[in-house]
Amino acid sequence: MRFAVDYRVVLLIAASVFALSPGKSGAQEGDANAGAVVFKKCATCHIVDSDTNKVGPSLNGVLGRKAGTHPDFAYSASMKAAGDGGLVWDEATLRDYLHNPRVKVKGTKMAFVGLKDDQEITDLIAYLKQYSK
Ligand code: HEC
């Protein structure tokens, strides 16, 4: 009898550890606060909280935007062509681009080597999303 009770306790503990683990591996989820820190790498050239262009176009509302179409920014011919060819910024295309800008958009004038860490990109996209509707 006593053994049976202990067994149930063990099961309960095992079940709750199991239930908590998806939260822990929430490494898959984007953390916008961490993304704000990653964005410092972009902030020399990009503003996200307003429509102002700097060296690079404003990233306000970038998710869902056709590449090369922010008003009053002098894009490279490559970026405009990519947009005309159907490139729209969403999670997947941003991930590719941020990994290696010059591979995704050959001839882009964005002088940035890219982010190697997937989690950094995930967090960054979560941050950018806050400024996209
Ligand atoms: C050294 C300056 C610089 C840095 C750093 C930089 N960018 Fe850029 N970015 C640019 C320029 C310039 C363009 C325009 C590229 C073109 O026209 O080919 C651009 C374009 C983009 C575009 C395409 C926007 C559009 O309207 O089509 C995205 C998205 C982008 N950058 C995201 C980022 C992110 C996110 C980071 C940080 C991880 C970053 N960039 C870092 C200069 C920079």
Q: What is the mean pLDDT of the chain?
A: 88
- Is the CB of 125 inside a 6 Å radius of any atom of ligand 1? no
- Is the CB of 75 inside a 6 Å radius of any atom of ligand 1? yes
**pLDDT at residue 29 in the model:** 84
Contacts of 35 (CB under 8 A, 6+ apart): 123, 124, 125, 126, 127, 128
CA–centroid distance, residue 131 to ligand 1 (Å): 16
**pLDDT at residue 7 in the model:** 60
User: What's the burial of 119, exposed, middle or buried (CB within 10 Å: 0-12/13-18/19+)?
Assistant: middle
